[in-house]
Chains A and B, each alone.
Chain A
Amino acid sequence: MPMSLWQYANPVKFMALSAKVLPWVTGLTVLTLVTGLIWGFFFTPGAVNFGTSVKIIYIHVPSAMMAINIWIMMLVTSLVWLIRRHHVSVLAAKSAALIGLTMTIIALITGMIWGQPMWGTYWAWDPRLTSFLVLFLFYLGYMALWAAVENPDTAADLTSVLCMVGSVFALLSRYAVNFWNQGLHQGASLSLDKEENVSDVYFQPLLLCLAGFVLLFVTLLLIRTRSEVRRRRVQALEMRERMADG
Protein backbone atom coordinates (compact mmCIF):
# COMPACT_ATOMS: atom_id res chain seq x y z
CA MET A 1 0.00 0.00 0.00
CA PRO A 2 1.48 3.41 -0.90
CA MET A 3 2.42 5.46 2.17
CA SER A 4 1.78 9.18 2.37
CA LEU A 5 2.70 11.87 4.88
CA TRP A 6 -0.90 13.07 4.71
CA GLN A 7 -2.18 9.91 6.40
CA TYR A 8 -0.76 11.31 9.67
CA ALA A 9 -3.14 14.23 9.33
CA ASN A 10 -5.69 11.67 10.48
CA PRO A 11 -5.89 12.22 14.28
CA VAL A 12 -6.23 8.48 15.04
CA LYS A 13 -3.11 7.63 13.03
CA PHE A 14 -1.23 10.59 14.50
CA MET A 15 -2.09 9.50 18.06
CA ALA A 16 -1.05 5.90 17.38
CA LEU A 17 2.28 6.83 15.78
CA SER A 18 3.15 9.56 18.30
CA ALA A 19 2.45 7.17 21.22
CA LYS A 20 5.04 4.76 19.79
CA VAL A 21 7.64 7.42 18.98
CA LEU A 22 7.36 9.57 22.12
CA PRO A 23 9.27 7.36 24.62
CA TRP A 24 12.22 7.02 22.20
CA VAL A 25 12.36 10.73 21.41
CA THR A 26 12.12 11.58 25.13
CA GLY A 27 15.02 9.27 25.98
CA LEU A 28 17.14 10.64 23.16
CA THR A 29 16.32 14.22 24.23
CA VAL A 30 17.48 13.65 27.81
CA LEU A 31 20.66 11.90 26.65
CA THR A 32 21.60 14.55 24.07
CA LEU A 33 20.69 17.62 26.08
CA VAL A 34 22.29 16.49 29.34
CA THR A 35 25.49 15.35 27.57
CA GLY A 36 25.71 18.55 25.51
CA LEU A 37 25.16 20.90 28.45
CA ILE A 38 27.54 19.04 30.78
CA TRP A 39 30.21 18.96 28.04
CA GLY A 40 29.77 22.65 27.29
CA PHE A 41 29.58 23.82 30.91
CA PHE A 42 32.23 21.67 32.56
CA PHE A 43 34.65 20.62 29.83
CA THR A 44 35.24 23.62 27.58
CA PRO A 45 37.85 26.34 28.23
CA GLY A 46 37.21 30.07 28.49
CA ALA A 47 37.59 32.05 25.25
CA VAL A 48 40.17 34.78 24.61
CA ASN A 49 37.57 37.49 23.97
CA PHE A 50 34.69 36.27 26.11
CA GLY A 51 36.36 34.53 29.06
CA THR A 52 34.18 31.90 30.74
CA SER A 53 31.04 33.81 29.67
CA VAL A 54 31.38 31.87 26.38
CA LYS A 55 29.61 28.98 28.17
CA ILE A 56 26.33 30.90 27.74
CA ILE A 57 26.59 30.03 24.03
CA TYR A 58 25.31 26.50 24.76
CA ILE A 59 21.95 27.88 25.88
CA HIS A 60 21.75 31.14 23.95
CA VAL A 61 22.50 29.94 20.40
CA PRO A 62 20.24 26.83 20.42
CA SER A 63 17.32 28.72 22.02
CA ALA A 64 17.67 31.61 19.53
CA MET A 65 17.79 29.20 16.57
CA MET A 66 14.76 27.32 17.89
CA ALA A 67 12.82 30.57 18.46
CA ILE A 68 13.18 31.41 14.77
CA ASN A 69 12.78 27.90 13.35
CA ILE A 70 9.72 27.09 15.46
CA TRP A 71 7.96 30.07 13.90
CA ILE A 72 8.93 28.77 10.44
CA MET A 73 7.54 25.34 11.38
CA MET A 74 4.33 27.10 12.52
CA LEU A 75 4.21 28.87 9.16
CA VAL A 76 4.45 25.58 7.24
CA THR A 77 1.79 23.81 9.34
CA SER A 78 -0.47 26.88 9.17
CA LEU A 79 -0.16 26.90 5.37
CA VAL A 80 -1.09 23.19 5.35
CA TRP A 81 -4.20 24.13 7.34
CA LEU A 82 -5.13 26.99 5.02
CA ILE A 83 -4.65 24.88 1.88
CA ARG A 84 -5.69 21.37 2.92
CA ARG A 85 -7.73 21.98 6.12
CA HIS A 86 -5.95 19.31 8.20
CA HIS A 87 -6.79 19.86 11.87
CA VAL A 88 -3.73 18.07 13.29
CA SER A 89 -1.55 20.44 11.28
CA VAL A 90 -2.94 23.63 12.78
CA LEU A 91 -3.09 22.05 16.24
CA ALA A 92 0.65 21.36 15.89
CA ALA A 93 1.17 25.06 15.13
CA LYS A 94 -0.91 26.03 18.17
CA SER A 95 1.04 23.56 20.34
CA ALA A 96 4.39 24.89 19.14
CA ALA A 97 3.64 28.51 20.10
CA LEU A 98 4.31 28.21 23.85
CA ILE A 99 7.54 26.31 23.16
CA GLY A 100 8.61 29.03 20.70
CA LEU A 101 7.69 31.76 23.17
CA THR A 102 9.78 30.08 25.90
CA MET A 103 12.75 29.73 23.52
CA THR A 104 12.45 33.41 22.59
CA ILE A 105 12.37 34.45 26.26
CA ILE A 106 15.43 32.28 27.01
CA ALA A 107 17.30 33.75 24.01
CA LEU A 108 16.43 37.31 25.06
CA ILE A 109 17.30 36.82 28.74
CA THR A 110 20.57 34.95 28.15
CA GLY A 111 21.46 37.54 25.51
CA MET A 112 20.85 40.35 27.99
CA ILE A 113 22.84 38.59 30.72
CA TRP A 114 25.69 38.02 28.25
CA GLY A 115 25.42 41.55 26.83
CA GLN A 116 26.05 43.31 30.14
CA PRO A 117 29.67 42.14 30.65
CA MET A 118 30.46 42.12 26.89
CA TRP A 119 28.81 45.32 25.65
CA GLY A 120 28.36 47.14 28.96
CA THR A 121 24.58 47.18 28.61
CA TYR A 122 21.71 44.72 28.98
CA TRP A 123 19.84 46.09 25.99
CA ALA A 124 20.46 48.08 22.83
CA TRP A 125 18.06 48.83 19.96
CA ASP A 126 20.27 46.79 17.69
CA PRO A 127 18.62 45.24 14.55
CA ARG A 128 18.84 41.65 15.76
CA LEU A 129 17.76 42.38 19.34
CA THR A 130 14.87 44.53 18.18
CA SER A 131 13.62 42.02 15.60
CA PHE A 132 13.80 39.33 18.30
CA LEU A 133 11.71 41.46 20.62
CA VAL A 134 9.13 41.87 17.83
CA LEU A 135 9.17 38.09 17.29
CA PHE A 136 8.46 37.67 21.03
CA LEU A 137 5.45 40.01 20.67
CA PHE A 138 4.23 38.01 17.66
CA TYR A 139 4.34 34.80 19.71
CA LEU A 140 2.30 36.53 22.43
CA GLY A 141 -0.17 37.89 19.85
CA TYR A 142 -0.54 34.48 18.20
CA MET A 143 -1.39 32.82 21.52
CA ALA A 144 -3.71 35.65 22.54
CA LEU A 145 -5.59 35.32 19.25
CA TRP A 146 -6.14 31.59 19.79
CA ALA A 147 -7.49 32.37 23.27
CA ALA A 148 -9.70 35.24 22.11
CA VAL A 149 -11.62 33.56 19.27
CA GLU A 150 -14.24 31.05 20.35
CA ASN A 151 -14.81 29.19 17.08
CA PRO A 152 -11.77 26.89 16.65
CA ASP A 153 -11.79 26.94 12.83
CA THR A 154 -12.03 30.74 12.71
CA ALA A 155 -9.23 30.95 15.29
CA ALA A 156 -7.16 28.59 13.14
CA ASP A 157 -7.72 30.76 10.04
CA LEU A 158 -6.88 34.04 11.78
CA THR A 159 -3.81 32.71 13.59
CA SER A 160 -2.54 31.16 10.34
CA VAL A 161 -2.67 34.55 8.63
CA LEU A 162 -0.93 36.15 11.62
CA CYS A 163 1.72 33.45 11.37
CA MET A 164 2.41 34.40 7.76
CA VAL A 165 2.85 38.07 8.72
CA GLY A 166 5.11 37.19 11.68
CA SER A 167 7.37 35.13 9.43
CA VAL A 168 8.83 38.36 8.11
CA PHE A 169 10.15 39.09 11.60
CA ALA A 170 11.33 35.51 12.11
CA LEU A 171 13.45 35.87 8.97
CA LEU A 172 14.56 39.37 9.99
CA SER A 173 15.69 37.96 13.36
CA ARG A 174 17.85 35.47 11.50
CA TYR A 175 19.30 37.78 8.87
CA ALA A 176 19.19 41.19 10.58
CA VAL A 177 22.95 41.13 11.12
CA ASN A 178 23.47 40.55 7.38
CA PHE A 179 20.87 43.11 6.25
CA TRP A 180 22.13 45.92 8.46
CA ASN A 181 25.85 45.94 9.01
CA GLN A 182 25.50 47.79 12.31
CA GLY A 183 24.60 47.14 15.92
CA LEU A 184 26.30 45.28 18.74
CA HIS A 185 25.36 41.69 17.93
CA GLN A 186 28.04 39.65 16.18
CA GLY A 187 27.41 37.46 13.10
CA ALA A 188 26.28 33.84 13.11
CA SER A 189 28.14 31.42 15.39
CA LEU A 190 27.22 28.48 13.17
CA SER A 191 27.53 28.31 9.43
CA LEU A 192 27.71 25.71 6.67
CA ASP A 193 30.98 27.41 5.77
CA LYS A 194 33.51 25.84 8.16
CA GLU A 195 35.74 28.91 8.06
CA GLU A 196 33.02 31.00 9.72
CA ASN A 197 32.29 28.58 12.56
CA VAL A 198 33.52 28.90 16.12
CA SER A 199 36.51 26.75 17.09
CA ASP A 200 35.93 22.96 17.23
CA VAL A 201 36.38 22.88 20.99
CA TYR A 202 33.18 24.97 21.30
CA PHE A 203 31.55 23.81 18.06
CA GLN A 204 31.18 20.10 18.92
CA PRO A 205 29.33 20.51 22.25
CA LEU A 206 27.33 23.32 20.63
CA LEU A 207 26.14 20.94 17.90
CA LEU A 208 25.12 18.44 20.57
CA CYS A 209 23.18 21.13 22.50
CA LEU A 210 21.53 22.19 19.26
CA ALA A 211 20.44 18.59 18.62
CA GLY A 212 19.21 18.42 22.23
CA PHE A 213 17.07 21.54 21.82
CA VAL A 214 15.61 20.24 18.53
CA LEU A 215 14.76 16.91 20.18
CA LEU A 216 13.29 18.71 23.21
CA PHE A 217 11.10 20.67 20.84
CA VAL A 218 9.93 17.48 19.07
CA THR A 219 9.19 15.79 22.43
CA LEU A 220 7.21 18.74 23.78
CA LEU A 221 5.48 19.27 20.45
CA LEU A 222 4.27 15.67 20.39
CA ILE A 223 3.07 15.86 24.01
CA ARG A 224 1.27 19.17 23.44
CA THR A 225 -0.26 18.24 20.08
CA ARG A 226 -1.58 15.00 21.58
CA SER A 227 -3.19 17.11 24.34
CA GLU A 228 -4.79 19.41 21.75
CA VAL A 229 -6.15 16.43 19.75
CA ARG A 230 -7.62 14.97 22.95
CA ARG A 231 -9.14 18.35 23.89
CA ARG A 232 -10.86 18.56 20.49
CA ARG A 233 -12.19 15.01 20.94
CA VAL A 234 -13.58 15.89 24.39
CA GLN A 235 -15.31 18.98 22.94
CA ALA A 236 -16.86 16.84 20.18
CA LEU A 237 -18.09 14.22 22.66
CA GLU A 238 -19.52 16.88 25.00
CA MET A 239 -21.32 18.51 22.08
CA ARG A 240 -22.88 15.16 21.15
CA GLU A 241 -23.97 14.71 24.79
CA ARG A 242 -25.65 18.13 24.79
CA MET A 243 -27.42 17.36 21.50
CA ALA A 244 -28.59 13.99 22.81
CA ASP A 245 -29.94 15.68 25.95
CA GLY A 246 -31.87 18.07 23.73
Chain B
Amino acid sequence: MVELGKYAGAVMSAYGLSLLALALLTLVSWLQSRKTKAALDAAQARRDARKAE
Protein backbone atom coordinates (compact mmCIF):
# COMPACT_ATOMS: atom_id res chain seq x y z
CA MET B 1 0.00 0.00 0.00
CA VAL B 2 1.23 3.48 -0.86
CA GLU B 3 2.34 5.65 2.10
CA LEU B 4 0.18 8.81 2.17
CA GLY B 5 1.30 10.23 5.52
CA LYS B 6 -0.68 13.11 6.99
CA TYR B 7 -2.74 13.55 3.79
CA ALA B 8 -4.10 9.98 3.84
CA GLY B 9 -7.58 11.08 4.93
CA ALA B 10 -7.83 13.79 2.27
CA VAL B 11 -6.51 11.62 -0.58
CA MET B 12 -8.55 8.54 0.30
CA SER B 13 -11.80 10.48 0.78
CA ALA B 14 -11.26 12.38 -2.50
CA TYR B 15 -10.69 9.15 -4.43
CA GLY B 16 -13.43 7.24 -2.58
CA LEU B 17 -16.16 9.85 -3.09
CA SER B 18 -15.18 10.49 -6.72
CA LEU B 19 -15.09 6.83 -7.70
CA LEU B 20 -18.40 6.29 -5.90
CA ALA B 21 -19.98 9.17 -7.86
CA LEU B 22 -18.63 7.83 -11.18
CA ALA B 23 -19.82 4.30 -10.33
CA LEU B 24 -23.32 5.58 -9.48
CA LEU B 25 -23.48 7.61 -12.69
CA THR B 26 -22.45 4.57 -14.74
CA LEU B 27 -24.95 2.34 -12.94
CA VAL B 28 -27.84 4.80 -13.40
CA SER B 29 -27.00 5.22 -17.11
CA TRP B 30 -26.82 1.46 -17.65
CA LEU B 31 -30.09 0.79 -15.78
CA GLN B 32 -31.86 3.52 -17.78
CA SER B 33 -30.49 2.00 -20.97
CA ARG B 34 -31.86 -1.45 -20.05
CA LYS B 35 -35.22 0.03 -19.05
CA THR B 36 -35.70 2.01 -22.27
CA LYS B 37 -34.61 -0.96 -24.40
CA ALA B 38 -37.19 -3.19 -22.70
CA ALA B 39 -39.88 -0.50 -23.13
CA LEU B 40 -39.06 -0.10 -26.83
CA ASP B 41 -39.05 -3.87 -27.41
CA ALA B 42 -42.47 -4.12 -25.73
CA ALA B 43 -43.92 -1.20 -27.74
CA GLN B 44 -42.61 -2.65 -31.02
CA ALA B 45 -44.03 -6.08 -30.13
CA ARG B 46 -47.45 -4.51 -29.52
CA ARG B 47 -47.23 -2.68 -32.85
CA ASP B 48 -46.27 -5.87 -34.69
CA ALA B 49 -49.11 -7.77 -33.02
CA ARG B 50 -51.60 -5.11 -34.14
CA LYS B 51 -50.30 -5.32 -37.70
CA ALA B 52 -50.65 -9.11 -37.66
CA GLU B 53 -54.32 -8.87 -36.52
Q: How many A-B residue pairs have CB under 8 A?
A: 98
In the bound assembly, the distance between CA atoms of A116 and B9 in angstroms comes to 11
Q: Which of A59, A216, A233 contacts B40 (CB 8 A)?
A: A233
* Distance in Å: Cβ of A31 to nearest Cβ of chain B: 16
- What B residues does A226 contact at CB under 8 A? 33
Given contacts A51-B5, A53-B11, contact A102 B21 (CB under 8 A): yes
In the assembled complex, B2 has its CB within 8 A of some CB on chain A: yes
Does A94 interact with chain B (Cβ within 8 Å)? no
Distance to closest chain A CB from B18 (angstroms): 5
- From A37, A59, A105, A223, B29 is in contact (CB under 8 Å) with A223
Instruction: Please indicate the chain B residues that have their CB under 8 angstroms from the CB of A102 in the complex.
Output: 21-22, 25
Size of interface on B: residues with Cβ below 8 Å to A: 33
Give the dominant DSSP class at B's interface: helix
Of the four ranges (under 10, 10 to 19, 20 to 34, 35 or more), the interface on chain A belongs to 35 or more
A:197-246 near B, CB below 8 Å: 216, 220, 223-224, 226-227, 230-231, 233-234, 237-238, 240-241, 244
Q: Do A240 and B18 contact each other (CB < 8 Å), given the known contacts A220-B29, A230-B36, A233-B40?
A: no
- The CA of A224 and the CA of B33, in the complex, are separated in Å by 7
Cβ-neighbour of A230 out of B6, B37, B47 (below 8 A):
B37
